[in-house]
Amino acid sequence: MTHTDIVQLEERFQIRTYRKKPIAVVRGEGCWIWDAADKRYLDLYGGHCVTLLGHNHPGVTAALKAQLDQLTFYSNAVYSPVRARAAEALASLAPVGMRNVFFCSTGTEANETALKLARKTTGRTEMLAMEGGFHGRTIGSLSVTHGKYREPYKDVMGPTTFVPFGDARPALSALRKGAYAGLIIEPIQSMAGMAESTAGYFRLLREACNDAGTALIFDEIQTGVGRTGTFSISERYGVLPDLITMAKSLGNGVPVGAVLVSDAIAGTVRYGDQGTTFGGGMLAMAAVEATLAAIRDDDIMEKARRIEVTIRHRLGPKIKEIRGGGCLLGLDLGFPVAPVVSALLQDGIIVAGSNHPNVIRVMPPAITPLDEIENFTDILESCMREAPGVA
């Protein structure tokens, strides 16, 4: 199929929910993807922060093929060896005290599950959430998502109070009311342009949640699975949440989400409290098992850290600010980035924008060679020089 055929069919037969990049991708390998005209792109976007191991990772592909020959799917109505191994692998990488797993299929479903567990264990209904936070598009996750995404559905939202991200005082004073089931927070707010805060801030939230009997929920849909250099970013901040949600990189492209649940909350869970048909299915579990094996055995977290160091070293002195960590970075150029993102695409490099007009998001596979990262920084600098409105 030609580029034009593909675009025409998609536009004709799908509802127009997505503003797409003007390329049609056909195949991928490692940090590269190829379009319908066989042009090669360096993929520093990973299909929205998903392919941490790179496209068509040989270990994940082999595991999926082997699993397809065995059994494609069976639900949680039965036990399964691949699910047993995937759960053990995930639990063994989870922070101590949080080695209890619930599998689902998407990030938003993981957050829905965490919100339900917080409500169930506390017997409360209200949530505390952060301005700028994004937690998904289903109604529960949307009710704790800030801003434009929730506006049209305000009539069905659960009760949520929003406080500014990164400023402990309003959060602590809200928590003192003792009314909240959960406080949900993206430790790095990706859509908001990689807003980040300090270990001290997260520790204050942890202590205040303890005092208030509120469950602390880390939405690690983007930060989790080793992307920022530790398996959970909670390890970097020295803070143990009550619930951690993960998805995106967990199956390296196969849809899967998970909730890591504290021992205390796991102890309160009863049959029927949560369920899903597809969560924990065999193909997804084969992907999780192989992805986690690679993360453990191929120094993926160390590689993610080295990519961050390279980008900070090359671009730190040249742009306004770099935020985030590992393979989840926001490059704040200090001026609107849309023309730079388009120019990079022309030059064969895929990056993402965000809700912050001045921020380019870089979420590369951790296996991206450092010389390709250096090449990207050179090309970015030349695109910045040519961007309209830049002196």
Ligand X SMILES: Cc1ncc(COP(=O)(O)O)c(C=O)c1O
Instruction: Note the residues at the interface with ligand X (CB under 6 A).
Output: 106-108, 111, 134-136, 186, 190, 219, 221-222, 247
4: number of Cβ within 10 Å: 10
Look at residues 296, 285, 293, 297 and name the one whose alpha carbon lies nearest to residue 258. 285
Q: Are 265 and 217 in contact (CB under 8 A)?
A: no
- Cα–Cα distance for residue pair 141/236, rounded to 1 Å: 25
In the bound complex, what is the minimum distance in angstroms from residue 217's beta carbon to ligand X? Answer: 11
User: How far apart are the C-alpha atoms of 332 and 44, rounded to whole Å?
Assistant: 16
Side chain identity at residue 111, one-letter code: N
Nearer to ligand X, 35 or 219 (CB): 219
Q: CA 295 to CA 289: how far, in whole Å?
A: 10
Which lies closer to ligand X via its Cβ, residue 315 or residue 363? 363
243/319 with CB nearer ligand X = 243
Q: How far is CA 20 from CA 23, 24, 329, in A?
A: 8, 9, 22
Nearer to ligand X, 67 or 249 (CB): 249
Q: Which is nearer to ligand X, 340 or 363 (CB)?
A: 363
Comparing CB distances to ligand X, the nearer of 190 and 197 is: 190
DSSP state of 207: H
23: helix, strand or coil:
coil
CA distance 180 to 159: 10
Q: 10 Å Cβ neighbour count for 15? A: 5
Closest approach of Cβ 173 to ligand X, in Å?
A: 25
CB 328 within 8 A of CB 352: no
Closer to ligand X by Cβ: residue 179 or 189: 189
Running DSSP on this structure, what letter comes out for residue 317?
T
* Closest approach of ligand X to the CB of residue 303, in Å: 22
Residue of 287, 308, 306 lying closest to 188 (CA atoms):
308
User: At its nearest, how many Å lie between ligand X and the CB of residue 391?
Assistant: 34
Q: In angstroms, what is the minimal distance from the CB of 190 to ligand X?
A: 5
Are 53 and 291 in contact by the 8 Å Cβ rule? The answer is yes
Q: How far is the CB of 314 from ligand X (least distance, A)?
A: 26
Q: Rank residues 246 and 319 by Cβ distance to ligand X and give the closer one.
A: 246
- Least CB distance to ligand X at residue 188 (A): 9
Kindly state the smallest distance separating residue 144's Cβ from ligand X, in Å. Answer: 10
**Shortest distance (Å) from residue 116 CB to ligand X:** 15
Is the distance from CB of 304 to CB of 226 less than 8 angstroms?
A: yes
User: Measured from the CB of residue 247, what is the shortest distance to ligand X in angstroms?
Assistant: 5
Q: How many CB atoms lie within 10 A of CB 52?
A: 31
Contact predicate 107/144, CB 8 Å: no
Residues 6+ apart with CB under 8 A from 254: 60, 64, 283, 284, 287, 288
Question: Is the four-CA dihedral 140, 144, 148, 150 of positive or negative sign?
Answer: positive
The CB-nearest residue to ligand X is: 107
**CA-wise closest residue to 230 among 92, 325, 361:** 325
Residue closer to ligand X by CB (options 184, 384) is 184
Beta carbon nearer to ligand X, 133 or 383: 133
